[in-house]
Amino acid sequence: MLVVVSWVSFWLDKDAVPARVSLGVTTLLTMTTQASGINSKLPPVSYIKAVDVWIGVCLAFIFGALLEYAVVNYYGRKEFNDQKKKGGIGDCVCPPGQRSTRLDSSSYMGVGRIAFVKRIRELLSVKMKISRKVDLMSRLTFPLTFFSFLVFYYQAYVKQSRD
C-alpha cells in the first residue's frame, strides 16, 4: 500500500514541492519503520528471507518515486529558467498555456480511450517539456513494473513453498 501511495506524487503538480517531498519522505520513513519492526520480530538467519526481498523492492520503488521527483524538479527549474532567459515569462510562475494537473474530479471528466490515445501522442511529441514527460511516463512505468514484480515474486515463492 505504501508503494502505491508514493505514486500519488506523479499526479501532483510539479510546483507543489512541499506536498511531493513530504509524501515521498513520509512513505519512505514509514516503510523503513515497518521494515525494522518486521526484522526485529524475526530470528536472525544467514540467508535472505522472502520478506527481505519484498521489503527491499518496496523500498526501492518508494525511493525511486522520490528520485523521480528530484529529476522532475531539476528539469522543471531548468525549463523555467531557460524560458525566463528568453523573455517568455514575466511575473507569472506558471508558463502560459500549460494545463495544470489537479486532483479533483473535474480534470478527469470525460477521460476515456480517446483521451488515453491523446495522452500517448502528447507524450511522444517533441514539444513537450522533459519534466512533464518524466511524470507522465512514471505514471505508467512504475505501476507496470511493480505489477511485473508482484507476478514474478508470487510465482517464485508459491512454487518454492510447494517444493
At 110 the pLDDT is 53
Span of 66-70, 120-124, 145-149 with lowest mean pLDDT:
120-124
The pLDDT tens digits of the residues spanning 52-101 come to: 999 999 999 999 999 999 999 999 899 888 888 887 655 555 555 555 55
* pTM of model > 0.85: no
First to last CA, the chain: 29
In the block, residue with C-alpha cell 517531498? 21
Average pLDDT, the chain: 82
